[in-house]
Structures are given as C-alpha cells and as structure tokens.
Amino acid sequence: DYFESILPVESGSELYRSFAAMVHVFLDCVALDGLFVASTIIVGGIFEGHSLTSHILPNLKHTYFSALRAALLTNLSFAPVEFLSFRFLPLPLRVLSVNAVDLVWNGVVSFASHGGELR
C-alpha cells in the first residue's frame, strides 16, 4: 500500500503502469533485501535466545552475504511473478501473491542464515 501511494500502478497509461510495476518489483526484490536479511538474522537470533555480542553479531558477519545472495537469487527468480502481481492484480490480491512468494523467500533466508549453502 505504501508503494502504491507513492507510485500508483492502477492509474495512468499502460506504459506508466508497467513502469510503476517494475519499480515496485525492483524495490521489493533488490532495495529492501539487505535490510530484511539483516533483520531476519538479528531477530531470529534473539528469538532463539542467543547473546547479541557473543553469537548474533558474529553470525551476522559470517552469514550475511551468503544469505543476501540467496535472497537476491530467490527474489530474481520470482520477479516475473511479482511483476505480474503488481501489474495486473488488485491491491488485496497482490498482498496474497507477494506473501506466497515471501513464504519461499523466508525459508531460503532462514536456511542460509543458519549456515546452509545454496549452490
């Protein structure tokens, strides 16, 4: 809804709507991934009962870039689905579509942040 208020997909010419959908996908897939991966590792460590200084921050340094790479690859593989969702679905159905993609994304980031390797 925030992206829609800044750059609406549901109004304007066909070209504008497609451009707006691509910007939404870019922001969702690329720009926000670094923040989401870091927060997933930190909050996951807190909920698992680990110490911030002795476990969470060293784990963040060790796994951040591999988890970010896995997240970016996952998001780029789902980018066509997200583009179609942002471009053609009404806002309430977009939420459902993006949440389905995020379910897979969260699984990949969780696996990678716990030391798993994606090859």
pLDDT tens digits in sequence order for the chain, 119 residues long: 677 888 888 878 888 888 988 888 888 777 788 898 999 899 989 999 999 999 999 999 998 998 888 888 888 888 888 888 888 988 889 889 888 888 888 888 888 887 765 44
DSSP 24-91: HHHIIIIITHHHHHHHHHHHHHHHTT--IIIIIHHHHHHHHHHHHHHHHHHHHHHHHHHHHHHHHS-H
Position of tokens 């390797």?
117
pTM for the whole structure: 0.71
